Amino acid sequence: MEFSGVRALVTGGARGMGRCFVEQIQAGGGAVAFCDVDGEAVAATADALHAPGFACDVSQEASVQRFYDEASAAIGVPNVLINNAGITRDGLFMKAHPETGEPVMMDVNRWQQVIDVNLTGPFLCTRAFAAGAFRAKNPESVVVNLSSISRAGNAGQLNYSAAKAGLVADTVVWAKELARYGVRVGAIAPGFIRTPMTEGMKPEALAKVAAGIPLRRLGEPTEIWLAIRFVIECGYFTGRVVEVDGGLVL
């Protein structure tokens, strides 16, 4: 796909990596609209970047469809979707209570919140996007899913790992099913990236994380963007995962 013709939707675009993606699409000459669940952050980012932004809860069907419709009115029928929105609710599946010694299990709400946003969210967004591309008879459209190095299974992240692994499986299924309609689907699996979330970690914890990465540093959001741009522009790429993790294996 020629980048000058990109009309992109970015979920979770008000902060962190998502905001970087919005900025990079603009810098490349593409059109972009974004959403985020935080309405105040949406307004601030939309004002700063002069990009159409919309409040949206990607786990809710009606909210996703409203975002798609409003964004399409703002930039035209989208031909790129970046499923970036995600949350963490980390915790062990089971641990011993410090006083009673009884097993304490992961709360079902902590499990479900992550599954709803990180797995159901991309399902709902991709469904709206693919239907719109089909109706518009777009000759080529691209979905980019943000998975994670944690998809391999990371202790303390059962819910997150399950969602990100499921998203890779969805990437393969969508690539196979949607190719006949001109839709390519790829996934990016970042490692530890420098974002407001990681910068909020204690310095000693951050240093320990960086020491375990072969390149001895965290990645930058712009380095994840380079992988996304590759997926968008390479017309023979679909159904695969690009790992951008500094060589780290969990």
CA pair distance 112, 106, nearest whole angstrom: 11
Q: Check if 181 is active-site.
A: no
Q: What is the DSSP string of 155-199?
A: TTBHHHHHHHHHHHHHHHHHHHHHGGGTEEEEEEEE-SB-SHHHH
Residue position matching structure tokens 């530890």: 192
Contact at 8 Å (CB) between 27 and 222? no
Check 68, 160, 181, 236 and give the catalytic one: 160
Sheet holding 53-55, edge to edge: 53-55, 31-36, 7-11, 80-83, 141-146, 183-190, 241-244
Could you give the CA distance from residue 221 to residue 249 in angstroms, rounded to a whole number?
19
Contact 86, 117 (CB under 8 A): yes
- Positive or negative torsion for Cα 37, 41, 42, 43: positive
- Residues acting as catalytic residues: 160
